[in-house]
Structure 1
Amino acid sequence: MTPSKNNSAPNPRSLRKVFWGITAVTVLALMGGGGWLWISSSGQPASASGVLGDKTQMGVVEIVTGDVEGLSDYYGNKVGLEVMESTENSTVLGLGGNELISLVEDLDSPAPTASEPGLYHSAILYPDEASLATTLVRLAESAPESFQGSADHSVSQAFYFGDPDNNGLELYVDRPRDQWRWNGGSVDMTTVVLDPSQFIAQHLGDKEARDAVMGHVHLKVGNLEDAKSFYTDSLGFDITSQIDGAVFYSAGGYHHHLATNTWSSNNALERTTALGLGSLTVTVESADEITALIKRLGRDGLGYTSISSDVVVADPWGNLVRFTVVD
C-alpha cells in the first residue's frame, strides 16, 4: 500500500480546537497514569563511559500486531511514512531511505495490558520544524483521535500520539545542541506546555516530510535498578537523567536514545504476549563494538542470539534489543 498524498493547503487555525483541548487536559494528567511524560533533570552527574561510540543511533522498531493493514494505514496514510517493503503479513515503513517502523502479523496472541512491560513509545525525529508541522496537519486532518498531548522539553519539541493498537508514538524536533543545558552530566529536559496550533501556525509551509530517523525509544519495565544494570552495565549506554519512575540513557552526548519507566508497570514480571514491541534496534559504527558487547553479555551471564552479524538480547522483561553495524 502506497501512502496517499494530500495536496490541499491546510488552514492551521482550523486545527486549534482539535489539538488545544486535548493538550490542556493532557498536561494535567498524572505521570503514573500511563499518558503524560513529565521530564526534569535529576541534577546528578551521569557516568560518561564512552562504551558505545559517538555515532550510536536508534534504528527500526518492530511492532507485532494482529492488524498489519490497519497499522500500515495509520503509519503510512496518517503519519506519512513511506512503504519500503511489504509482504502478505508484514510491512516496513520509513522516510528518506531510513526504516522506522516494521509491522509483523500475529493473529493469535492477546493484546498487552496497560501494566505489561513493553513499548511506551517510539519517537521519530524530524530534521526541521516545517516538515514536522506538515506531519501534524496530516494527522489532525486524518486521525485527530490519536493525538494525546504535546510538550516543550527544552532540548526538543514533542507531540504524542497513539496508534490503533495503543502503541505510543512521539513525533519531535530537536533544538540545536548548543541550546541544551547540562548540569554535572545530567541534561535538563524540563516540560512546559506546547500549543500545537501555535507551532503549526509558526512553522507550516509547503515542505513535505522527506526524511526522519528513529530518535529514541521509551520502554515500560518492571523496576529501574535492573533496567539500569542491563542498559548501562551490559549494553553500554550512559545515564543522562533520572526522575521518579524513569531513567534516560544515551550514547555520544545525545539527550536520550532510550528511556525506561515503571509508571504503569512497577514490579511487573516478564512479558506475557508477543503483541506490541517486537524489538528495537541500536546501530553502532563498527563490528568491534559488537564484539565488545558480546564480551559484556558473557561477563554478565546474559544469553543472546546471533543473526548474521547482528546480536539480539532480551532485557529482564523480554523486550528484545537488536544491535547492528550501520551500513
Structure 2
Amino acid sequence: MTVASGDGGRPIDPGTRIGHVHLKVAEIERALGFYCGVLGFALTQRFGGQAAFVSAGGYHHHIGLNTWESAGGSPPPPGTTGLYHLAILYPTRAALADALRRVEAAGIPLDGASDHGVSEALYLRDPDGNGVELYRDRPEAEWPQDSRGGLAMVTRRLDLDALRRER
C-alpha cells in the first residue's frame, strides 16, 4: 500500500484532536434516549426530527445524529465498510464505572470489556447498531513497556466487578 503525503511525511500537529463524530441513525428520539438518557450527554441543538447534536461539558457538540439518509433504516450488513466504533473517553475510572452502571441499568448488553494496559474499555452497540467504546486512559507512567522501553499494549479481560465497586 502506498501512503501519499503532501509534504514528505511530516507528522500532524500533536495538538490535533478528533472534534466530533456524526452518525446516521434511523430514529432521532431513540438515539437521543441512548446518548442523552443512558450515557448522560446534553442536547445542545436540534433540527426538527432530522438531526440533533449532543455534548459533554458544554462543548458545541461531540456527537451529531441525523436521519438525512437513514430514516427508518437498518445497520449495514456484516462485510461492509463504515464505522467500526466511536470511542468516548472518560476522565477517571470512577466516571467509567458510572457509565457501566448506567448501561447496565438500561439493560444494554456489553459486547466486551478489555484492559489494554494503556486503557480500560467497555464495548457495546447503540440502538442503531453503531459500535460504541466507553473507556478511560491510564496515566502514561502506568503504560506497559516492552523490553526495549516501547509501548506494549495488551488485551486482557477487564474485571467488571472491580470496576463496578469504583466510586
Q: Which whole-Å CA distance do the structure 2 matches of 1:69 and 1:159 have between them?
A: 24
The corresponding residue for 1:133 is: 97
Task: Tell me whether 1:63 sits opposite 2:27 in the alignment.
Answer: no
Contact 1:61 1:102 in 2 (8 A): yes
Q: Structure 2 matches for 1:6-155, cutoff 5 A?
A: 51-88=11-48, 89-98=50-59, 99-105=61-67, 106-107=70-71, 111-145=75-109, 147-155=110-118
Distance 1:110 1:192, change over 3 A: closer
Deviation at residue 143 of structure 1 after TM alignment: 3.1
Q: SS at 1:197's partner residue? A: helix
TM-score (norm 1): 0.44
Q: Which whole-Å CA distance do the structure 2 matches of 1:86 and 1:186 have between them?
A: 45
Q: Which whole-Å CA distance do the structure 2 matches of 1:163 and 1:189 have between them?
A: 26
Distance 1:51 1:160, change over 3 A: same
The corresponding residue for 1:189 is: 153
Q: Which structure has the bigger radius of gyration?
A: 1
User: Number of aligned pairs?
Assistant: 154
Structure 2 unaligned spans of 5+: 1-8
Q: Which whole-Å CA distance do the structure 2 matches of 1:113 and 1:194 have between them?
A: 29
Structure 1 unaligned spans of 5+: 1-48, 205-327
The residue identity in structure 2 corresponding to 1:103 is L
Distance 1:108 1:134, change over 3 A: closer
Q: Which whole-Å CA distance do the structure 2 matches of 1:130 and 1:113 have between them?
A: 35
The corresponding residue for 1:167 is: 130
Q: SS at 2:141's partner residue? A: helix
Distance 1:161 1:76, change over 3 A: same
Deviation at residue 131 of structure 1 after TM alignment: 1.4
Post-superposition Cα deviations, 1:151-179, rounded to whole Å, max 9, x if no partner, equal 10000000111011110000000011122
TM-score (norm 2): 0.83
Q: Which whole-Å CA distance do the structure 1 matches of 2:155 and 2:119 have between them?
A: 10
Deviation at residue 133 of structure 1 after TM alignment: 1.1
What percentage of residue pairs aligned between the two structures are identical?
32
Higher relative strand content: 1
Q: SS at 1:187's partner residue? A: coil
Q: SS at 2:117's partner residue? A: coil
Q: Which whole-Å CA distance do the structure 1 matches of 2:105 and 2:75 have between them?
A: 28
The residue identity in structure 1 corresponding to 2:122 is F
The residue identity in structure 2 corresponding to 1:124 is I
Greater RCO (CA < 8 Å, at least 6 residues apart): 1
Q: Which whole-Å CA distance do the structure 1 matches of 2:84 and 2:157 have between them?
A: 21
Report the RMSD for the aligned CA atoms in angstroms.
2.0
Higher relative helix content: 1
Contact 2:118 2:137 in 1 (8 A): yes
